[in-house]
Structures are given as structure tokens and as C-alpha cells.
Amino acid sequence: MNITHSDVENGILTATVIIPAADVDNAVKKAYRDVAKKYNFHGFRPGKAPRPVIDKAVGPELAHANATEELLSAAAPAIINELDIVPVKDGDFKNTDLEEIDLAKDGEDYTFKVQYKLRPMPSLSSYDAVSIEMPPAEVTEAEIDAQVNMLLAYQVKFEDVTDRGVEAEDFLTVDIEDVKNAESLAGEGRAVFVGSGSLPEAVEEALKGMKVDESKEISWTPEAAEGEKAEEAAIKATVKSIRARITPELTDELAKETFGFDSVDAMRDAVKLEIEQDKEARLPGIKESRCVTALAERLELEEMDEDYEQSVFQDLGQQFLSNLSQRGMSLDQWLQANRLTSDQFIADLHQQANDVARESLALDALARELKIEATEDDVNAEFERAGVEDVEASKAAFTADGRMPAVRDSIRRSKACDWLVENAQVTEVDETARAAEEQDAEETAE
């Protein structure tokens, strides 16, 4: 096989390919042998019918069509390898005039053109190192406090309240009567946790301040589906009981009896050690993710190419289904466990695919700018890291399948990512403390 010419226009690579006559003849001979084995020809044992008999019985086009298909199937991975491309769609094979493909002919070189759609190659608005915020490597008091508070939350109790109105995080029993367009909310003795979102936000806000046995009519306008008219809804709510959320105070006694530590200080030391170990494991991945996300924000691409997004979508979907299969779970079981519809899952996966596609294109752009290459040593190291027993055999298999360009793509992206992480301008921020401050500000504003 010989690629005599290739060029790219509007994201489409067109290559002219010539398969030598000798290879064509071998493919045609094999095709005739296969036809002779597949069909019964009167007077001949299976596989022994000569070519003239086959041509007379089924026509010469059948064997030549099979030979042509075999030649193209064998050529496809070789073309991808030689051009070193990872197309977003299968190749579109044409004759030299870019019309319907011709059949290969005995004794002649087989010349054809193939077109591959390539992924976009947008630029970045800047190729400078990215700036990101990261949690400090050292454990902060705010992080310890947050972890301790989470442990204490498991010990929360609810106590009846009669001397005040409803507040956030109270547990209520409410009788709800449908007044207008609120049939789904109606019911006696409905359990409501204020702030959980089990009721419309307007209803939860209206309940705040109400006391036991107090009734109130509440109206609001729910959001309407696209193309539908929003209609006002109304209910009559009667608070039957209020139970306040009581979090126990952390004392040495509680630390010992409930959590098995000699003191509060010992408990906090243990929590600190656990956070340290968690940070050591997670921070490198967090840094890489934030660097790539920041880089993707510089991508000069308004709308993602549908075909490329779809190719990423399919890869993510196959990977997800494979992971589920390894866990012994079907997609339906997973959807049910996570209370998702198939439409919601597909929409979320498309959004993930769009994000991954943008990040990949951003890393590609950075790799081009840095003139990053994937050497043979890099390829060997990649297979060794994958833990394959026979590197050369695995490389040969990847080459035969046309998957080696994808390996080199992955290496170039990894190198670009390494540069990105190594050169990132990092500002350490106690994000846990900041989140706590923001929550306190919101509660004060309310």
C-alpha cells in the first residue's frame, strides 16, 4: 500500500491510496476460494469450483466486491497509522473522482481516495501557565472542624419545640390542603425537613416563622416547562409539630463514649491524620483537574463539533457500562439506585462529553504550541506502565488495529498536562474556612 498524496481542508483529510496489483490479485483469488466454499456448485466438491463456473453461476461482481471490501478493511488501519491520525468517524472511501467506490480489477493497481473527518484544531487565547487556587497541603483547623462537625451530625437528635416558630433545619409535621394546582403536595401529617427541597422553595420560606397549630394559605407560581404557560398554585398549610435539630456538644466524655477516643484532643489528632492521608492521595488529582479546566476556559471555540462530541460521548458511555459490568450491575439498576431517568443520564453524559472534549482540544493546542512529540521510548514506556507482558506483541496488535496514533495522542496530551501542572501558578486557599464564612454570611442575611 502506498499513500501518494494527502491534504486537509475544512477539517477533512483526503488521501490518495494505491494498492499494488499483486495484492489485488491475491485478494481476488482468496475471494473466489471463499465463494467456492460458501456456495454449492453442481458437479464440484465444496471449494473446488473453478472461476469460470463461479462467474457463470453468480457473476464476477460478487468475488470482486468481496475482494474490494477485504482490501479496504485491511488498508484502513494501515492508512490511519501512516497518516498518524485519530479520526472522529470511520473513513469514507471513494474513487479518484470522489464518487462511489470502484471495484478492484485483476492485474491492476487499485487506486482510491479516502476521506477522514478530523477533530477541530482551535487555538488558545493564551499559552501562559494557568493560575489556580488549591487547598493548602497542611491540614487546617477549619478542615478539622468540618470533619468533626460531620461526625457530630450523625449524633443529631430532634426535640419538640412549642415556644417559637419554624426555622431552617427544623423537622415538621404539616397538613397540606390543595387550594389550586397543588394536588401532588396535598396530604395530612406530611413530614418536612426545612431546607431539604422536598417542597417548593416559596413554600418552605412561607413556613418559616409559623407556630404549632398555625395555618396559612401560601401561593406561588411554579416554573413551567418550555412552551407551557406558568400557572399559579396555592395550598393551605397547618403546622402540626415542630422538632428542632439538636447537635450535641463535643466533650471529652462524648469523644470517649461515642467515638472511642480518650479526649477531644485525641479525636481531633486522629481526624487530622485522616485528612492528611486523604490530602496526600487526592491533591495531585485535584491540581491536575483544575489546571486542565483552567486551560479549557482559554479554548477559542464557540461551539463543539457534533461528531467529535459524539465520539467522546460513545467512549465515555462504553467505559461507564464496562465499569458497571465489572461491579455486576446493569444500567437500569444503576439508574434506579440513583433515581435518574435514562434521558437525564444521557443528557448528563453529553455534558460530560462536551467538557472532556474541550479539555482534550485545549491540551492538544498546548501540545502543538510546545511542539511536544511522542517518541518510541515514550510509547514503550506507556505499554510498560499498562503492565503488558509482551510490549512488542501489544504494539503490533495496536498497529494492526490502527490504534497506535491514539496512543501517541494520549502521550502528547499527558506531556502537555505534566507541563501545565508543573508550571501552574498556585494560590493556597483554605476553602473549607471560606465556605464556612460564606454560609455564616448567608444565615446572617436571612
- Give the per-residue pLDDT at 43: 83
What's at 287, amino acid-wise?
K
The answer to whether 25 and 105 are in contact (CB under 8 A) is no
- What string of DSSP letters covers 247-288? PPP--HHHHHHHH--SSHHHHHHHHHHHHHHHHHHHHHHHHH
Helices (H) and strands (E) in the chain, counts: 14, 11
Q: What angle in degrees, to the nearest 10, is found between the helix axes of 252-259 and 264-296?
A: 80
Cell 464557540 -> residue: 302
Task: Burial-class residue 125 by CB neighbours within 10 Å (0-12, 13-18, 19+).
Answer: exposed
- Give the per-residue pLDDT at 228: 76
The answer to whether 190 and 176 are in contact (CB under 8 A) is yes
Neighbours of 412 (CB within 10 A): 20
Q: For residue 29, give every residue at least 6 positions away whose Cβ sits within 8 Å of its Cβ, in sequence order, or none.
A: none
In angstroms, the Cα distances linking 405 to 40, 81, 308, 342, 380 are: 44, 6, 16, 34, 14
- What string of DSSP letters covers 35-92? HHHHS--TTS-TT---HHHHHHHH-HHHHHHHHHHHHHHHHHHHHHHHHT---SS--E
Cell of 255: 469523644
Cell of 185: 403536595
At 80-114, the pLDDT tens digits run: 999 999 999 999 999 989 899 999 999 999 999 99
- Give the per-residue pLDDT at 331: 94
C-alpha 369: how far from its chain's center?
Answer: 26
Q: Tell me how far apart the terminal alpha carbons of the chain are, to the nearest angstrom.
A: 74
Q: Can you tell me the distance from the alpha carbon of 52 to that of 54, in angstroms, rounded to the nearest whole number?
A: 5
Q: Tell me the pLDDT of the chain (446 aa) as tens digits.
A: 899 888 999 999 999 999 999 999 999 999 999 999 988 888 888 888 999 999 999 999 999 999 999 999 999 999 999 999 999 999 999 998 989 999 999 999 999 999 999 999 999 999 999 999 999 999 999 999 999 999 998 999 999 998 999 998 899 999 999 999 999 899 999 999 998 888 999 999 999 999 999 999 999 998 876 677 888 999 999 999 999 999 999 999 999 999 999 999 999 999 999 999 999 999 999 999 999 999 999 999 999 999 999 999 999 999 999 999 999 999 999 999 998 899 999 999 999 999 999 999 999 999 999 999 999 999 999 999 999 899 999 999 999 999 999 999 999 999 999 999 999 999 999 999 999 888 878 767 66
User: pTM for the complete prediction?
Assistant: 0.81
- Give the per-residue pLDDT at 276: 96
Q: For residue 208, give every residue at least 6 positions away whose Cβ sits within 8 Å of its Cβ, in sequence order, or none.
A: 165, 166, 167, 168, 194
Comparing CA positions, the residue from 437, 297, 434 lying closest to residue 365 is 297
The answer to whether 404 and 382 are in contact (CB under 8 A) is no
